[in-house]
C-alpha cells in the first residue's frame, strides 16, 4: 500500500485505518504526518519511525469515541499544518512536530501543545513491536 512512498499524510477518519498506516510507516521507515479533525478541533503530529513516539504511543488501549461532524475551516487549518510539516521535512528546515501533539481549538481560537513520550512497550514501535 505504501511501497515507494516518501511520506504518509494521514487524512483518515477512523482509528483502525490510522493504526494500519502507523504500523506501515514504522515497518517501511516512512515519515507519518498525522492530522485529525472533529467539529472545530484539529490535531497534528509528525512521526519519524525510529526517532519519535508513534500514533499508537499516543493512543494506546481503546481509542476515544469518534464523532463524525467536521465544521468550517478546521480541515483547511490542519491540512495546512500537515503540508507545512511535509515541506519542512523534505527541505530539512525548522522544528517538526516530533513528540509533540498540536491541538487547534476553533471555539477559543487557541493552539495547545502536548509532549508525547515514546512508549518502550508500544506494540507498533516499541521493542516488543519491532
pLDDT in tens, 97-114: 999 999 999 999 999 999
Can you give the residue ranges of every domain in the chain? 8-115
Joined grid coordinates for residue 107: 471555539
pLDDT at 129: 45
Question: Using H for helix, E for strand and C for coil, what is the string for 32-69?
Answer: EEEEEEEECEEEEEEECCCCCCCHHHHCCCCCCCCCCC
| pTM attached to this predicted model | 0.90
- Judged by DSSP in three states, 98 sits in strand
Class of domain 8-115: alpha beta
Amino acid at each position: 500500500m505504501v511501497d515507494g512512498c516518501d511520506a504518509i499524510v494521514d487524512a483518515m477518519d477512523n482509528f483502525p485505518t490510522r493504526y494500519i498506516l502507523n504500523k506501515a510507516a514504522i515497518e517501511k521507515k516512512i515519515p507519518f504526518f498525522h492530522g485529525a479533525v472533529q467539529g472545530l478541533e484539529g490535531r497534528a503530529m509528525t512521526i519519524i519511525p525510529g526517532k519519535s513516539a508513534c500514533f499508537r504511543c499516543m493512543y494506546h488501549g481503546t481509542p476515544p469515541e469518534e464523532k463524525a461532524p467536521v465544521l468550517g475551516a478546521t480541515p483547511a487549518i490542519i491540512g495546512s499544518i500537515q503540508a507545512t510539516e511535509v515541506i519542512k521535512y523534505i527541505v530539512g528546515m525548522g522544528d517538526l512536530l516530533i513528540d509533540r501533539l498540536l491541538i487547534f481549538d476553533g471555539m477559543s481560537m487557541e493552539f495547545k501543545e502536548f509532549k508525547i513520550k515514546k512508549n518502550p512497550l508500544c506494540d507498533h514501535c516499541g521493542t516488543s513491536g519491532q
